[in-house]
Amino acid sequence: MIASMDAAVCNPSLGPSSSSSCYVSSRPSFCPDLRRSSVRLSSEVFKVKIGRLERSLCRSSGNKLSAVIASASQTSVSDPISTPSRNDLSDSLKKSNEASLILIRHGESLWNEKNLFTGSVDVPLTKKGVEEAIQAGKRISNIPVDMIYTSSLIRAQMTAMLAMTEHRQQKVPIILHDENERARTWGRIFSEETKKQSIPVVTAWQLNERMYGELQGLNKQETVERYGKEQVHEWRRSYDIPPPNGESLAMCAQRAVTYFCDEIEPQLFIGKNVMIAAHGNSLRSIIMYLDKLTTQEVISLELSTGVPLLYIFKEGRFVRRGSPVGPTEAGVYAYTGKLAQYRQKLDEMSH
């Protein structure tokens, strides 16, 4: 069952037993090297629909994970703002290996509004897109966020930042600049307390929208009239047929899913709650990986702008919890003990 991923598809408020109302992907992390890592993973053997994809995309993840764990008490590239101590780390590993993962496609951009192919062109949000991002923030305002990943494009970054203005944690999202030594040095923070009140935001071009090649800047409707509905649908939704001089979804997945496996999944393993603000196609490829969709199934996967999706990463598996409909949505918190405790703490703090 594959469908458009918005609130209408899934009703997580029905709680953990609502699997009939919600497409739940209970999958093991299938990066092969991660299974051999020192973190205990389920020994159950799962059939993997997109084995070739996972093998080619996730090869290096085990090394990365070991590196994250080994360096967690020192400076970590992906978490220079708030580095867990070795004790914190082993505690979080012992506790549950559980974390939440929020995926959010950027709000409406000025070129979405004009119905233009955008791809790698860096276009900002419309007013409606700004509002969508704020609304998305309200919907996830009670879900913990320790790390944010965005693409290098302004529409995803605006969305992440605007969404965080609504967050109850009230930590400050801070963009990490890693482009050169000077950027790293000049962006340093010298107060441990301030670091604790910050959320690192990592920007990565690998999460960018697929490069739409010679379609970039063309009107989608006019392109249909010129090349025909079928041809345009093939360019937009087929798995491995690229638009002229652009990236196919497979090519986009090659970079986006590899990045997810190498950089993001290790953070989830050590218990970090992660939000990713990215794009229709980079997120479609990541969802394909998380939900083990086939190359046929992913064709009908559509993501709306500004709609957050929640996954729980637990014992090495991703479970999709749908799209939180509001900040008090019970089912989301009922699902895991850790989230329930977090929610309780937030409530206590505000009383």
Single out the residue of 292, 255, 297 nearest to residue 56, CA to CA: 255
Nearest approach in angstroms of CB 331 to ligand 3PG is 29
Structure tokens at 306: 């500004």
Nearest approach in angstroms of CB 119 to ligand 3PG is 5
Nearest approach in angstroms of CB 263 to ligand 3PG is 23
In the complex with ligand 3PG, the residue whose CB is nearer, 178 or 234, is: 234
CA distance 133 to 125: 9
Return the bridge partners of 172, or none.
Answer: 198
Sheet of strand 317-320, all strands in order from the earlier edge strand to the far edge: 27-28, 317-320, 308-314, 98-105, 274-278, 147-150, 198-203, 172-175
Respond yes or no: is residue 263 known to be catalytic: no
Respond yes or no: is residue 44 known to be catalytic: no
| Secondary structure (DSSP) of 163-192 | HHTT-TT-PEEEE---SSHHHHHHT----H
CA distance 197 to 189: 11
Please identify which of the residues 54, 98, 132, 209 carries the catalytic annotation: 209
In the complex with ligand 3PG, the residue whose CB is nearer, 12 or 280, is: 280
CA distance 223 to 227: 6
In the complex with ligand 3PG, the residue whose CB is nearer, 19 or 221, is: 221
Annotated binding site for substrate: 105-112, 118-119, 155, 209-212, 220, 236-237, 280-281
In the complex with ligand 3PG, the residue whose CB is nearer, 117 or 342, is: 117
Nearest approach in angstroms of CB 199 to ligand 3PG is 26
What is the binding site for ligand 3PG (CB under 6 A)? 117-119, 209, 212, 236, 279-281
Which residues are the active-site residues? 106, 209
